[in-house]
Structure 1
Amino acid sequence: MGGVFSGSLALLSDAFHNLGDSAAILLGYFAQLIGRHPETERRTYGYRRAEIIFALLNSIFLIVISVFLIFEAAKRFSHPQPINGELMLIVAVVGLLANLASAFLLQGGSKDSLNIKATYLHILSDALSSVGVIIGALFIWFTDISWIDPVITILVAIYICYETWPIIHQTLSILMQSSPELDYACIKKDIKQIDGITGVHHVHAWMIDEHRIIFSVHINLKDMKLSEVEPIYQRIETLLKNKYHICHITIQAEVERGIEETMFNTPADKATTSDEVE
């Protein structure tokens, strides 16, 4: 409302930035509630991707708003409009104080939770954009130079896109089941160091959300009883959970089947033996 009544696009862009962050916190909370629903026959991994979907939708909304603000700011260079610098300054200061108060409330929890820490750092960046709007408001109030407002608008919009794009990239990667950043060569080496394992192949890894990694692997063993295989499974699971923070692990034991396959068994790899990959 302050952006509309003052005529300041810069203030309006800062407002949308804060609105987007507030929506992200609120949607994230509801997504966590949805994600707590138990697994069902139709959702065997549960509803944990609800938070990823909400984050993607919120990020796309911020990108669309930023592009709109950039176009509107470009128009104002040729058709400047009067701006109430005093009102713009007052509202920007209120926004800055609100961001600082929010950061103060989150500071304690940011030491124990990565999610709260990310939100805390994001709110500090909101405070930084509010400082930019305040500086612009002071220039407009004392110099009456209206083109400063669209310049700040474009800078804030670009800053929003810069902050939002990594979130879009990460959420799309998770939804497309892209492989998480793991040291697969080291994983293979660690698994093969376990007694009894002669080969590691056919690896698949993906993420349910930003924290939970799903991992499946085929291993080659000498011919043995199932009761002798289970302790090997337990050692692999302990290794992957403790060292690589993988939460869900599926292991398939084989004797000779697939022993010539590589870790990922891609068409380009079929002509290469596992020894050459190492």
Structure 2
Amino acid sequence: MEKNGLTGGRFLLVTVLNVVITGFELLGGLLSGSLSLLSDAFHNLGDALSVILSYVAHRIGGRHQTRQNTFGYRRVEILTALLNSGLLILVSIGLGGEAIRRLLHPQPVKGDVMLLVAVISFAANLLSTLLLNKGSKHNLNIRATYLHLLSDALASIGVIVGALLITFWQISWVDPVISLLVAVYIIYESWPIVKQTFEILMEGAPKLDYEAIARDICALPQIKGVHHLHAWQIDENNVVFSVHVNMDDLPLSQVEPVYRQIEALLCHKYDVNHVTIQAECHRGKDESLFYKQNDWRHD
């Protein structure tokens, strides 16, 4: 936890900030009649739950491998990132619909109350965002939570601008417009995380130059061919890789150094973390680089 700057104390402080600001914005939204404040309040409530889920997932994800989970528990963080981002999109769609309804049927808003609450909310959201900024750079789960908080800070800026326009120029329709713009922005920022987590959970191959990898492996003097290559991700930072290679009929003591060369190549040039290699003499030498369902019938 300390390595990424994600201490339990930071998570606790962020959670407390979000719970307090949620209650403050709910009260301010009801008193002022501001949809953007009410939407931000519900968003903050979701953020508090998101931070709690993120922290629990981060702790579980750090556990060692077991007999039941031989790759460890990193996927818990990916599941949490998907849940957080998916819920954020659903909430944003709901807020966008309410904003459109308010545009069609305008309601009075107390700009002074709205402005005071928005300024305090912005300060709290900005502090929460800064607390999680470091860990968000290397962890998809924390990044999803960080985006929750960043979107709240941006929403608060929009609410402040809207409150100023309402207070000094009585432009009340700006309140639902801000809510709609924030909802669109949140969906725009959250969708890439949903897409990436879904690809990881579906065992999608990471973006690597597989033809180049095959050429590099075949460039080793002992390698005669490469086939049945597989690659997938445990999380956004850990790539698992397996491949079959054709070699001459060598004793195991001579095969192991070749394995180490392949592992070093994949690790240093392509950032692959976990490599499994199967050596064969003639089996599969005419098969494709990527496994096909009926390839085994030709063995």
Q: 1:114 aligns with which of 133, 138, 142?
A: 138
When normalised by structure 1's length, the TM-score is 0.86
Secondary structure of the corresponding residue to residue 172 of structure 2: coil
Greater than 6 Å deviation, 4+ residue runs: none
Indicate yes or no: 2:205 matched with 1:179: yes
Q: 2:108 aligns with which of 67, 75, 82?
A: 82
Percent identity, aligned pairs only, is 53
Q: Distance in 1 between matches of 2:236 and 2:247?
A: 33
Deviations 1:106-161 (A, max 9, x none): 56x46x96349957974555433322221111111122222111111110001111
Match of 1:244 in 2: 270
Q: Distance in 2 between matches of 1:104 and 1:43?
A: 34
In 2 relative to 1, CA 115–152 (structure 1 residues): closer, same or farther, beyond 3 Å?
same
Superposed displacement of residue 208, structure 1:
0.9
Deviations 1:162-192 (A, max 9, x none): 1111111011111101011111111111111
Query: Pairwise mapping of residues 1-278 of structure 1 onto structure 2 (< 5 A)?
Result: 1=26, 2-105=28-131, 109=134, 114-115=138-139, 118=143, 122=147, 123=149, 126-266=152-292
Does the Cα contact within 8 Å between 2:84 and 2:144 map onto a contact in 1?
Answer: no
Does the Cα contact within 8 Å between 1:92 and 1:134 map onto a contact in 2?
Answer: yes
When normalised by structure 2's length, the TM-score is 0.81
Matched pairs, number: 267
Superposed displacement of residue 18, structure 1:
4.3
Superposed displacement of residue 14, structure 1:
3.2
Superposed displacement of residue 80, structure 1:
1.9
Does the Cα contact within 8 Å between 1:53 and 1:171 map onto a contact in 2?
Answer: yes
Q: Distance in 2 between matches of 1:118 and 1:58?
A: 10
Q: Distance in 2 between matches of 1:60 and 1:118?
A: 14
Does the Cα contact within 8 Å between 2:139 and 2:236 map onto a contact in 1?
Answer: no
In 2 relative to 1, CA 261–50 (structure 1 residues): closer, same or farther, beyond 3 Å?
same
Contiguous gaps of at least 5 residues in structure 2: 1-25
Does the Cα contact within 8 Å between 2:230 and 2:290 map onto a contact in 1?
Answer: yes
Superposed displacement of residue 56, structure 1:
1.0
